[in-house]
Amino acid sequence: MEQITIEDICYQREAFLAETLPPFAGVSLFHRRLALFLKEWYSPSPLLTLNTSGSTGRPKTITVRKEQMLQSAAITCEFLELTAGMTALLCLPLEYIAGKMMAVRAIYGGLNLLVTEPSGYPLSDICRQTEFAAMVPLQVHNSLGREEERVRLSRIGRLIIGGGAVDSQLEEALRAFPNPIYSTYGMTETVSHIALRRINGKEASDRYTPLPGVGVTLSETGTLVINAPRISDRPVITNDIAEMGPDGTFRILGRSDNVINSGGIKIQIEAVEELLRPHIGTAYAVTSVPDPRLGEAMVLLVTSPSETSTVKDICARHLQRRQQPRHIFTVEKIPQTGNGKTDRAAAKKMATLLSLSSLAGRSAQ
Ligand SMILES: O=C(O)CCC(=O)c1ccccc1C(=O)O
């Protein structure tokens, strides 16, 4: 635990406590960022401050014990059978937990950390065999589109995909890959994943299995509660609506703040979007507007230049009656947060403004 191997060179803790950073910090800005994280890691403080990405609310910082991060690394290394000397690819930003944990796993497991600037194409410069990598869905999606990178992807010993849902099309594209690929479930508060689900091979499942030592239950409102004493002193109450099986596995249905209550019927936004994904080629989002009769009315925002009538047809064909949008609005683009997810609050605001102006338009006619 007192050393880390980066690109075949082993650095002792002391190397990060000296006034000047070790030489690898000069390779790139990202290498420098890694050296600065390790300086913080090897500092005497037992605590570390983490940033949450803010995809589900305001970004905030939380404080965890370094020991909890080591415990998380231990669980991952054990489960994925990562052992000393194996290579692990760091291609995620070090600002967030996922990148930091790759470094901590390298420290804990004695892994040889390969470092590449986080980008949409993380495998473009990686010729070496890697035994372990963590990526976000977009990085995997992009890599699949370039033959050489697709081959490299298929040779990664174990690939974990996190930071967002793996949609059914990406899952399908990975189905026949020979190497074990997992979708992860976790968050900053649980210092990265606490459950995994295989997306290819015989063990493929749409249900997450909690890692050893992790227990999950449902809150009164149906959201997932995580008990992982090695990682968090208190149970972590999430905003994710889940369905739990008797064997302790679970499925995530969507976020509790993404439920539309329309005339007493609850519509999970993510579920509707997933049903439409194979049929709408351009960007779109499901949201809602206040409705005097229903409470909320479901809205579909589409960027498609095609007739809304075709979109309406698609909905009629592929969604249940209760899931039909009340309004379909064509928009120039779907509002997004920094990390490429739909900005739900902005989408709702956009829909509300559009519905007000369409109402005004109608009454003026
Ligand atoms: O959503 C979060 O903040 C956690 C994301 C995360 O941990 C992650 C993100 C990308 C790839 C792998 C992982 C992981 O579970 O380790």
Summarised one tens digit per residue, pLDDT across range 100-126 is 999 999 999 999 999 999 999 999 999
Strand-pair partners of 159? 133, 181
Nearest C-alpha to atom 8 of ligand 1 is from which residue? 162
Domain membership of residue 29 (yes or no) is yes
What tokens appear for 282 in the block? 């351009």
Is the same domain home to 88 and 190? yes
Would you say the CB of residue 184 lies under 6 angstroms from ligand 1?
Answer: yes
Low-confidence spans in the chain with pLDDT less than 50 = none
Would you say the CB of residue 75 lies under 6 angstroms from ligand 1?
Answer: no
Domain membership of residue 188 (yes or no) is yes
DSSP secondary-structure letter at 80? T
Is the same domain home to 280 and 158? no
Strands in 236-244's sheet, in edge-to-edge order, are 215-218, 223-227, 236-244, 250-255
CA nearest neighbour of 156 among 136, 127, 176: 127
Ligand 1 centroid from CA 187, angstroms: 6
Parent domain of 75: 3-210
Would you say the CB of residue 163 lies under 6 angstroms from ligand 1?
Answer: yes
Ligand 1 centroid from CA 163, angstroms: 5
Domain membership of residue 338 (yes or no) is yes
Nearest C-alpha to atom 7 of ligand 1 is from which residue? 192
Residues 6+ away with beta carbon under 8 Å from 217: 224, 225, 227, 244
Q: Where are the beta strands (DSSP E) in 124-191?
A: 132-135, 158-161, 181-187
Domain membership of residue 224 (yes or no) is no
Is the same domain home to 60 and 190? yes
Is the same domain home to 152 and 295? no
Is the same domain home to 123 and 56? yes
Please give the pLDDT value at position 54: 62
CA nearest neighbour of 98 among 131, 128, 139: 139
Is the same domain home to 144 and 280? no
Is the same domain home to 266 and 118? no
- Give the domain-ending residue among 150, 182, 210: 210
User: How many domains does the chain contain in total?
Assistant: 2
> What CATH number is attached to the domain comprising 121?
3.40.50.12780
Domain membership of residue 221 (yes or no) is no
Would you say the CB of residue 323 lies under 6 angstroms from ligand 1?
Answer: no
Would you say the CB of residue 99 lies under 6 angstroms from ligand 1?
Answer: no
Q: Where are the beta strands (DSSP E) in 125-169?
A: 132-135, 158-161
Is the same domain home to 158 and 23? yes
Please give the pLDDT value at position 56: 56
Nearest C-alpha to atom 5 of ligand 1 is from which residue? 163
Ligand 1 centroid from CA 104, angstroms: 13
Strand-pair partners of 244? 250
- Give the domain-ending residue among 185, 210, 235: 210
Is the same domain home to 192 and 305? no
Domain membership of residue 154 (yes or no) is yes
Would you say the CB of residue 238 lies under 6 angstroms from ligand 1?
Answer: no
- Give the domain-ending residue among 210, 225, 251: 210
Is the same domain home to 296 and 194? no
Ligand 1 centroid from CA 193, angstroms: 6
Is the same domain home to 182 and 94? yes
Domain membership of residue 136 (yes or no) is yes
- Tokens 């390298």, residue? 106
Is the same domain home to 184 and 298? no
Would you say the CB of residue 191 lies under 6 angstroms from ligand 1?
Answer: no
Would you say the CB of residue 181 lies under 6 angstroms from ligand 1?
Answer: no
Q: What is the ipTM of this complex?
A: 0.98
Domain membership of residue 247 (yes or no) is no
* Best of 94, 97, 232 for a ligand 1 pocket test (most atoms within 8 Å of beta carbon): 97
